[in-house]
Structure 1
């Protein structure tokens, strides 16, 4: 099975634009780009350089997100926004939606964040299923001191996957975040290997 090597777009590349980035990727053996957005223009540029579509950031779901707002109106507006994005991404040939679920209020207790998540996320996963997309949760724990991102530890993932048992809902496997949190990244694969929908890799150092 072919597993192409890709990359996320660093800020300094992003400032130069998608065509500059796609050209650099092609010249340096990068086969896939993870994207902040996917529209017709971006797809055409990637195609012209024979670069594949990697994960696409979920609209409003990378960082502090209204999906996890205590304001019900904000939550459902966020769901509607994702519905539009999912339909567009599906039509353009994307498949993986990348999400990093940090509550709007990063100091919100995790128990409350999960209560809010349970109210809206089944609808989001249903939209992914309808559009044949796959939601991959990012394992970055979020800002100190609360480290509030949902879906970064085995305990929380067990709860989430039990509540929403869909093959269209899984994780982005990035061992660096697991190492940082003191989680055995190989044992994690033993339990959640079937839920891995995408992978990131980077050097990791623990400084005493």
Structure 2
């Protein structure tokens, strides 16, 4: 296993500057976030222009880095038709760029119509994801689903793939060997789900792993209860309550040998490029102690 990070947190740097910093600080992987505000590469140009794809590969080789996946959560089941179609097209653009660069995976959300229950969304999963998976399979790519509930849109958020129960139903509805998980224990931690048990139970579906921690602030939880807000926050690995030694050891036991990708959403280590980079470097050092 090698450690990587999602490049969105370094969006003020050029892509080459991101690669240069990553190489200098011992990272082996980079996960490319493709939201408009953070995207540093032209997905359509990479997919359509062999020369552009070659230049991209040469740049990665120069800094000895591997792209673990192209990433964007997306709104693939959104009730607004135009927004849904645009989201699915962006996913296809990521797939085509990944194919051009020999990147095995793209990362996204299943999605959700936030007006409906999880159960009522399953029909939408079938209506939309069977075709999306046919597209991914036709281009030889695998899709790794993030397990964040994305509660920004109420009620219910915009990603139903947040629990083992829901994963099982989704994988039964879309029985593709090319659909799996980008497994992030931080979300399971604050949801009260045993992330080690979930990791073991879905070992065959873990394509990638993201490294983000969660800090539960018990004094605030005591006051607000689980239905309140502000009683937990994301932290860099090593600064929260995820047992990373146990988590990574379990990955080894299960035969996982892919990237461990830091996702920086830590409010304590934001605010300046220096703080962000120091935070990433800290978590790289912290996680490295568990790699053999």
* TM-score, scaled relative to structure 2: 0.62
1:42 to partner: Cα distance? 4.3
Match of 1:25 in 2: 22
Q: For 1:136-147, what aligned pairs fall within 5 Å after superposition?
A: 136-143=144-151, 146-147=156-157
Judged with a 3 Å threshold, the aligned counterparts in structure 2 of structure 1 residues 196 and 44 are, in CA distance, closer, same or farther, namely: same
The 5 A counterparts of 1:54-203 are 54-58=68-72, 62-63=73-74, 65=75, 67-72=76-81, 75-76=84-85, 78-103=87-112, 106-143=114-151, 146-203=156-213
Whether 2:58 is the aligned partner of 1:49: answer no
Over residues 172-197 of structure 1, what are the superposed CA-to-partner deviations in whole Å (9 max), with x where a residue is unaligned? 11111111111111111222111000
1:4 aligns with 2:24: no
Does structure 1 conserve the Cα–Cα contact (< 8 Å) formed by 2:110 and 2:125? no
Q: Residue 290 of structure 2 aligns with which residue?
A: none
* Conserved? CA contact 1:107–1:148, under 8 Å: no
- Work out the CA distance in 1 between the residues paired with 2:163 and 2:69: 21
Instruction: Answer whether contact 1:172 1:196 (CA < 8 A) is retained.
Output: yes
1: distance between equivalents of 2:94 and 2:157? 28
CA separation of 1:25/1:81 partners in 2, compared to 1, >3 Å: closer, same or farther?
closer
TM-score w.r.t. the length of structure 1 is 0.84
Stretches (4+) displaced over 6 A: none
RMSD (Å), alpha carbons: 2.2
CA distance in structure 2 between the aligned counterparts of 1:100 and 1:79, rounded to whole angstroms? 11
Determine which structure has more spread, i.e. the larger CA radius of gyration: 2
Q: Distance in 2 between matches of 1:100 and 1:81?
A: 12
8 Å CA contact 1:69, 1:116 repeated in 2 = no
Displacement after TM superposition at 1:48 (Å): 2.1
Give the drift of 1:88: 2.8
- Please say which of residues 19-28 and 136-145 is displaced more in the overlay: 136-145
- Higher relative contact order at CA 8 Å, sep ≥6: structure 1 or structure 2? 2
Change (3 A) 1:152 1:91: same
Match of 1:200, SS? strand
